[in-house]
Each structure stands twice: as structure tokens, then as C-alpha cells.
Amino acid sequence: MHLHILGICGTFMGGIAAIARAAGHTVTGCDANVYPPMSDQLRALGIELIEGWDAGQADIGADIFVVGNVVTRGKQPLMEAILDRGLPYTSGPQWLADTMLRDRWVLAVAGTHGKTTTSAMLAWILEDAGLAPGFLIGGIPQNFGLSARLTDSPFFVIEADEYDTAFFDKRSKFVHYRPRTAILNNLEYDHADIFPDLAAIETQFHHLLRTVPGSGLIVANGQDSNLDRVLARGAWTPVERFGSATGWQAGPPDADGSFDVSLSGIFQGRVNWTAFGEHNRMNALAAIAAARHAGVPAAAAIDALARFDNVKRRMEVRGSVRGITVYDDFAHHPTAIATTIEGLRRKAGAARILAVLEPRSNTMKLGTMKAQLPDSLAGADQIYCYGADLGWDARAALVPLGDKASVFDDLDALVARLAEDAQAGDQVLVMSNGSFGGIHDKLLDALRQRDADGTG
């Protein structure tokens, strides 16, 4: 079968392309911006990429067009041609469910925060146990070096996103996956561009619960009242809680990040790793519980986490110059920003944290979360915000932080100030859900140049 994928360079659709190619299908695709690293990964798989949405692609000979949610009505001539000519099309999640996930044991990881990391942990635990799972994850787990793969294993781990499916299917992506094991990490208001309020998201999460069989398992955060409301609407599947006294618990961490794991008060083992933050311990509990449902003993899952290498862009060290360490992190929601800073604080101790934020997500650009930003950034010693192309005034929003916060409309000016301010021992935490204009390399180059000029 020949698939032509619209929006192929997104992480999710690019993952579908890789899986389809591994299954033996002919795959081509297009996007508005065909750029690395996804373009390089796809071309290495022999996938032809086309820049833009010209209607002529309707004649490419595809058996079906797989449409990503970047596609909207009236903006892409190709989509209009597909509709006018009555050509067959489907969404990415629907194609995946119908062709790849059917008859597999799907382990789906849902939640506002931690989906990528928890999915990576779970896939690694299953891999370490010899189960060789397939997976599709919205990031690159460093244990695997790729975001998606197809195997002969019955197990398939998927990051279950609540974002909408396509312009013709406004349900959340995760309702298509029909998991046997479902993790509900947490639930907060997000995606203000598609959800009017928290209740609308809770409804989508309950749609997900309705698809989990009675022989399956729901692994739910026992500290989240929003998830409690979702479960109270009806659950027809056994539920295991994590983070609660009656379920999976994490003991207090040692200085190196290691912690004990217990289930209903019974010791299960000790996770020996260097990851920091309460959020990572909660992610680990969820992954251990889900893996246990798939047949991996808790002790084996706990042992596997000692060899877990996290995900790229999750507290990833991009470089260090004269004792100044630069991190890259995907945090963009206020809760994720706060927990990321908290985790780095545990690791850095008294060292200064210079937080650098690009409010780039659709929700951030709408200004929905701007009132929460000062509290989420308060744990940093200095804050540098890139305020260009926002529909709201970042300077006004960050006034409660006083002199700690600076806002820049020019990226080069931000980098120059940051390079001037940074001192030996500082931890520079860059947070964005995009490439942030290559700020990490620009900053490291500026720091090296400062040393070469003798001004550091």
C-alpha cells in the first residue's frame, strides 16, 4: 500500500511514517517545512518528502492519504483536491489503530505532563525484560535513539496525546488506541486553542476510560483530584493508584536521586538512578505499575530504571563552558516549568539557576497561562523571557518577579545578555517546546567567544 502523509515532519506523523515503512508500505509525504532532524531521519528510511501542499500531489498514486492535525480546511490546496476528487483519506491515529495496533497489547500513557518520559521509561523496562516492544513516543528516548519502531512483539507503547485528531475528527487522539494498559499521569487545563475549559478535557479522558477492557488496567495518579472526577464518572477496569498510601509509593530521595518503591506499604525495591524531581519519581511509579501488568515483575522494572537514559530535551545537557552548564528542556506549561526548576534545584543546590523561557505553545501564545508564570519561575535566580510574537505583554506578566526577570524581543540580544551575566557554576535552564532559534548553540558559542576575548 502507498501512503502519502500530510504533515509528515511532525514527531507523531513522522513516527507513523517510520512504522508504516517498517511494515513494508510505500511511504511519501509533505509538509510546509521539510527540515531536520525529522527530514533526515525519514529520507534515511527511503521516504520521499515534498515541500508544500500543492494540489498536484493528489496524482502521486497513493492508495490513501494520511492527514495530520496540522492540516486545516481552506489552507492546503492538496487537501481541497483530495476532498473534491473523493480520494480516500484518514487520520494518523485512525490509520495506526486500524493497521498496526489491532491485536496488540497497547500500553498508552496519557496526561498533561510526563507522557514522553513515562512512555520512554515503560518502553525501556519492557525492552530490558526481553519483550522488545514497538513504540511511538513524542521524543527520542536515548536508550533507543529513535522515537518510533515496529517489532514482532505483541506489546506496543504509545504516548497518548489528548490533542485533537484531525480537522474532520475533533476527538482526542488517544480514543483511537484502545489500550489494554492505560496510564493517567495527571490532568490540568492545557491546549486552550481547542479546549474551552478543564471539563472538556476531562470528558475526553473519560472517553479513553470507556475503551479500556475489563481485563485491562488503569494506572492513575492518586494525588490528582481532576483524575478522581474522571474516574468517578465511571470506570469498568481495575484501577491501581500511584503516589497514594494504598498504592504505589516512592520514598524520599537520597542526595543522588535514588529512592525506595513500595506497593501498599510493602517494599518492592530501590531505584538507583541520577534523575531528580518528584515528577520523575511519579513517572517511574507509573511505568513500574504498567510494566507489571504486562508481566514484568516490579523488582525487574526497578532494576531496569538504573539503566534508563531519559529522553532528549528533558534536562539534556547541551554543553558546559568554564563551569557554566547549559540544559535543554521541553517544559512549556507552568506546572512543568515549576517542577523542572525544582528538580534542577535539588541537583544544583546553592548554584544559581538562570531560567530562559520561550512561551511558544499555542496555549502560551494565547496568554491563557500568563498569570501563573511568575509563581512557576520563582524558584530560579534570574529569568530571561523571549517575548517576541506574543499576543500579550510578557513584561507586564512578569512584573511580580521584579528585577529577577528580563524580557527580550530580540533573540541575539537575549543571548548577549545571558552570556554577559553567566558566571562559573551557573546552571542555565532553557525551556521551550520548539527549537528556540538554536539558542543553545548560540549561547555556548558566545560563552566560548567571551573566554577567547578574555572578557569572562
Chain centroid to CA 456:
36
pTM metric for this prediction: 0.81
Q: Which helix (H) or strand (E) holds 77?
A: helix 77-85
Q: Report the distance separating Cα 231 and Cα 186, nearest Å.
A: 12
Residues, the chain, total?
Answer: 456
Q: 3-state SS string over 215-279?
A: CCEEEEECCCHHHHHHHHCCCCCCEEEECCCCCEEECCCCCCCCEEEEECCEEEEEECCCCCCHH
What is the per-residue pLDDT across 316-369, written as a single tens digit (0 to 9) for each? Answer: 888 988 889 999 988 778 888 888 898 888 788 889 999 999 987 777 777 778
The whole-number pLDDT of residue 451 equals 66
What is the per-residue pLDDT across 92-126, written as a single tens digit (0 to 9) for each? Answer: 999 999 999 999 999 999 998 889 999 999 999 99
The one-character DSSP state at 46 is T
Q: Report the distance separating Cα 308 and Cα 122, nearest Å.
A: 10
The whole-number pLDDT of residue 212 equals 98
In 250-380, which residue ranges form alpha helices assigned H by DSSP?
A: 278-293, 298-304, 334-348, 362-366, 373-377
Q: Report the distance separating Cα 269 and Cα 297, nearest Å.
A: 11
The whole-number pLDDT of residue 333 equals 81
Residue 216, all three cell numbers: 485491562
Peptide bond into 37 cis (omega under 30): yes
Query: pLDDT at residue 452 above 80?
Result: no
Residue 405, all three cell numbers: 526577570
**Closest CA relative to residue 286, chosen from 161, 113, 133, 162:** 113
The residues, ordered by sequence, that sit 6+ positions from 452 with a Cβ below 8 Å of its Cβ are none
Q: Report the distance separating Cα 434 and Cα 436, nearest Å.
A: 5
Q: What percent of the chain has pLDDT over 70?
A: 98
Counting other chains too, the contacts that 70-73 makes at CB distance below 8 Å and 24 or more residues apart are 70/6, 70/7, 70/10, 70/31, 70/32, 71/6, 71/7, 71/166, 71/167, 72/167, 73/167
**Closest CA relative to residue 152, chosen from 178, 136, 177, 133:** 133
Find the mean pLDDT for residues 1-11: 94
What is the tally of helices (H) and strands (E) in the chain? Answer: 15, 23
Phi, psi of 17 (to 5 degrees): -60, -45
Q: Identify the sign of the CA torsion 359, 361, 366, 372.
A: negative
The whole-number pLDDT of residue 329 equals 87
Q: Report the distance separating Cα 366 and Cα 239, nearest Å.
A: 36
241 contacts 220 by C-beta, under 8 angstroms: yes
222 contacts 231 by C-beta, under 8 angstroms: no
Cβ atoms within 10 A of the Cβ of 252, count?
7
159 contacts 116 by C-beta, under 8 angstroms: yes
Q: List beta partners, residue 386.
A: 408
Exposure class string for 58-75: b at 16+ Cβ within 10 A, else e: beeebebbbbbbbbeeee
Q: Report the distance separating Cα 435 and Cα 408, nearest Å.
A: 17
Cβ atoms within 10 A of the Cβ of 234, count?
9
Query: pLDDT at residue 188 above 70?
Result: yes
Q: For residue 24, what pLDDT band results from cuts at 50, 70 and 90?
A: very high
Q: Report the distance separating Cα 349 and Cα 346, nearest Å.
A: 6
Q: List beta partners, residue 415.
A: none
CATH code: domain 2-92 is 3.40.50.720
CATH code: domain 316-453 is 3.90.190.20
Q: Can you give the residue ranges of every domain in the chain?
A: 2-92, 103-307, 316-453
**Closest CA relative to residue 383, chosen from 398, 370, 393:** 398
145 contacts 71 by C-beta, under 8 angstroms: no
Q: For residue 33, what pLDDT band results from cuts at 50, 70 and 90?
A: confident
Find the mean pLDDT for residues 164-183: 96
CATH classification number, 103-307, choose in 3.30.540.10, 3.40.1190.10, 3.40.50.720, 3.40.50.300 = 3.40.1190.10
Query: pLDDT at residue 455 above 60?
Result: no
Do the first three CATH levels of 2-92 and 103-307 match, i.e. the same topology?
no
The whole-number pLDDT of residue 453 equals 65
Query: pLDDT at residue 443 above 60?
Result: yes
